[in-house]
Each structure stands twice: as structure tokens, then as C-alpha cells.
């Protein structure tokens, strides 16, 4: 008995091939965003961020945090990119990077750090997300998945409702970086910290601190843990990378500074004043 082959119309076959290609390209981590488009995208998102979050109105604190970021950026894999660094006025412990060189550090992160190397450790990690263009890779993936979802909706007859649902799923999917992206940001961030002269062990000590703090005050750490969970696996990987560095460089590495202490004191005094109001 001759078996019957399932035949699809030519248009449907092309649609299925296009859908599969879009999914395959997304899985490959393709990045279709040019640097100019990346910078413009970051600029637009930064406006949205600053319309919803309160930027700290303190020139001294902002200039200090910016100086650390610029120092790290100069030794990064994208030293010619313009970096825009600001402080968000919230006790929530977090920092986040946008495409094209935009970086935000929460006041709560500065207050939680014990020394400058810990602050630099987190900032180095975020700058690595920028240099490795993780956000634009996600943006490209989201676009490709949306294309695949649109084709799929057309083929199955799901229509507009199906497309909207697919778009929502894509938005939820890309809320945080992949484990591979986080590992890459840890690796390159650690290199930037060491090249800038900071003690790279600051990244490890800060992550360990976060794991302990989560038990006592989880609300202020919610955003950081949802997007950049500092797992024991990541900490061990950081330790392994530190072990590859020249021991002599670690002896002369910068742990902290009097400027960091002054900024911490200033923020502490402001916090006390807020609590009295």
C-alpha cells in the first residue's frame, strides 16, 4: 500500500519556512541592531525611565558614581561609546543598563556596598551588558519571535488576539538576561574592574552579601534578584576568574577610597533626615 504524503500549499510552506527561520535566528542570538540605532533606542528608553523614576538631585554623588563608571568604560571592550550614568533616588538595591551606554545605579546600592570595589563590581557587570550588547540581542530576539508569532497566527487563523497574546508572551520572556548573558557580564565585568585597578573580589563579596541580605530584607532586593540573581554558581565562577589573575595585581588593587566613605556618610545623614520627616 502506497503511503500518502501530506502536501501543503506553496504559500503555507513558505510561511512555515519563514517562521522556522525566524525562530532559528532568534535562538542563534542574532543581533540586527546597528550601533546608531542602539544609541537612539537607549536614549528613548532612558527618557521613559526618568519619567517614571526619581533621579537623585545631588551633583556630588552623581559625579562620584559617574567617575567610577567612566573609569571602567575606558578599559572596556567599547571605550569609544559615550556612557551616561545617573543615580536613581530609591533604597531598592539595584543597578541596570540600557542599550547604547545608559547606566543607572540606585542609591540603595551605594548605601549597601561596604567599599568602592563592591560598587565598582556591580557597575562593571552592568557596563559589560552594554559592551556585549545583550539588550539589543534581546530586542532582536523579541522582534524575531514576534515575526514568528505573527506568521503562526496567520497560518492557524488565530488572528489579532493570538498575535497580541504572542506579543505579551514575548514581553514577559525578555524581562531578564539569560544565564549565558549574566555569566558573560560577570566575566567581562571582572576584567574591567581589574584593569581599572579595583579589587575584583569586590564583585564576589557584594554578591555574597546580597544572598545574606535577602533573608532579612528581601523587599529592597526584589528588583535585583528578579533580573540578576546572584546564585552560588555565579559566585563560584567569579572566584574561578579571580584565580586566573596575577596575585601581585590583587595586592595593589583598590579596595576603597576616602571619597566613597564621604559619599556614604552623606547618604546616611540624608536618610536620617528623611526618617525624621
String of DSSP letters for 133-164: THHHHHHHHHHHHHHHHHHHHHHHT-HHHHHH
Average pLDDT over residues 59-86: 99
Q: Where are the beta strands (DSSP E) in the chain?
A: 84-88, 95-98, 102-106
Predicted local confidence at residue 179, as pLDDT: 86
Predicted local confidence at residue 166, as pLDDT: 41
Average pLDDT over residues 78-88: 98
* pLDDT exceeds 70 at position 67: yes
What does the pLDDT look like over 200-212, one tens digit per residue? 999 999 999 888 8
User: How big is the chain, counted in residues?
Assistant: 277
Whole-model pTM?
0.78
In the chain, domain spans: 35-135+176-276
What does the pLDDT look like over 221-272, one tens digit per residue? 565 555 666 678 889 999 999 999 998 889 999 999 999 999 999 999 998 8
Residues 144/200, Cβ–Cβ less than 8 Å: no
Amino acid at each position: 500500500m502506497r503511503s500518502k504524503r501530506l502536501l501543503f500549499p506553496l504559500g503555507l510552506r513558505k510561511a512555515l519556512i519563514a517562521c522556522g527561520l525566524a525562530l532559528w535566528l532568534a535562538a542563534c542570538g542574532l543581533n540586527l541592531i546597528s550601533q546608531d540605532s542602539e544609541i537612539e533606542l537607549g536614549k528613548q528608553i532612558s527618557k521613559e525611565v526618568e519619567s517614571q523614576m526619581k533621579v537623585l538631585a545631588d551633583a556630588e554623588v552623581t559625579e562620584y558614581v559617574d567617575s567610577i563608571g567612566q573609569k571602567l568604560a575606558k578599559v572596556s571592550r567599547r571605550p569609544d561609546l559615550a556612557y551616561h550614568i545617573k543615580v536613581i533616588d530609591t533604597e531598592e538595591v539595584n543597578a541596570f543598563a540600557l542599550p547604547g551606554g545608559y547606566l543607572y545605579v540606585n542609591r540603595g546600592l551605594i548605601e549597601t556596598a561596604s567599599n568602592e570595589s563592591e560598587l565598582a563590581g556591580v557597575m562593571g557587570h552592568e557596563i559589560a551588558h552594554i559592551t556585549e550588547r545583550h539588550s539589543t540581542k534581546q530586542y532582536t530576539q523579541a522582534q524575531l519571535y514576534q515575526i514568528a508569532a505573527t506568521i503562526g497566527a496567520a497560518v492557524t487563523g488565530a488572528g489579532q488576539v493570538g498575535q497580541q497574546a504572542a506579543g505579551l508572551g514575548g514581553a514577559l520572556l525578555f524581562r531578564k538576561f539569560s544565564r549565558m548573558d549574566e555569566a558573560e557580564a560577570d566575566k567581562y565585568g571582572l576584567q574591567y574592574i581589574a584593569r581599572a585597578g579595583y579589587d575584583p573580589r569586590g564583585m564576589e563579596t557584594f554578591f555574597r552579601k546580597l544572598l545574606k541580605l535577602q533573608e532579612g530584607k528581601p523587599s529592597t532586593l526584589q528588583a535585583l534578584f528578579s533580573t540578576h540573581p546572584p546564585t552560588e554558581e555565579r559566585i563560584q565562577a567569579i572566584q574561578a576568574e579571580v584565580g586566573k589573575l596575577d596575585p601581585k595585581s590583587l595586592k595593589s588593587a583598590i579596595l576603597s577610597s576616602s571619597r566613597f566613605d564621604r559619599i556614604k556618610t552623606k547618604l546616611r545623614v540624608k536618610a536620617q533626615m528623611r526618617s525624621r520627616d
